[in-house]
Structure 1
């Protein structure tokens, strides 16, 4: 069986802003313009893309030398209306436990709240199976967990 590469796609209202937010969360970078263009604006000008369509998509990639899926953001007309059935768990403190783990999660929740995320709830470790996490929403309401 062949292992397949995946891309994570977000339907959203403001692809450029949401790409910038997720670059902050994941340590990614906004995808560079195609070869031969100094900027995305130059590429879009050359391709004749009208101004009202210029924020219809954006993408984020891991920095050079790092691995991870491409994250794609596409503008859609309808807004988010219900809880996501799929969400990202952003691994902030893998291997950490107890107070150390929760302090790392709290610090990241505070940092991301300053960049437009909304804190939804905290689940504390229970000494059995639950190691603790914080549920967040990105600026467009998509749920994710700091884990």
Structure 2
């Protein structure tokens, strides 16, 4: 059996980055683990450093349970270099190259409106983007 993975994004503002990735992926807030009713209850069991709060993290999940969980955690260090691992947002749908490219462009434009930015465009293939804190990701067509 294959191992399941979670992805973790370090950031300065967990709530800002969580809002962007909810929009980008269609993910929802993951409920706290049982038996806890809230994230605050769950976090209260840990000896968190003074000044840390519930808003310093966000946990997102695919509502269909297919994609990996996304943990978003505030860290004190700023992002300094290009990601060594990145997310590919795959746009669904069928059709010829022009139709796929139109869907990729439309999705990248939607994500710009959500706070992302376009870094590089590889015409007909994919768009390299960044979330509001500069974490790189790509927008491409889903495999046929």
Give TM-score, length-normalised by structure 2: 0.82
Question: SS of 2:31's equivalent?
Answer: coil
Alpha-carbon contact 1:84-1:143 (below 8 Å) kept: yes
Change (3 A) 1:96 1:12: farther
Question: SS of 2:51's equivalent?
Answer: helix
Instruction: Give the length in aligned residue pairs.
Output: 138
Spell out the pairing of 1:70-109 with structure 2 (5 A cutoff): 70-93=69-92, 95-109=94-108
TM-fit CA distance, 1:100:
0.7
User: 2:58 aligns to what?
Assistant: 58
Gaps of 5+ in 1: 126-131
Alpha-carbon contact 1:93-1:105 (below 8 Å) kept: no
Alpha-carbon contact 1:133-1:145 (below 8 Å) kept: yes
User: 1:138 aligns to what?
Assistant: 131
TM-fit CA distance, 1:97:
3.6
Give TM-score, length-normalised by structure 1: 0.80
CA distance in 2, matches of 1:45, 1:91: 33
Cα root mean square deviation, aligned: 2.4
CA distance in 2, matches of 1:33, 1:24: 21
TM-fit CA distance, 1:74:
1.2
Alpha-carbon contact 1:14-1:75 (below 8 Å) kept: yes
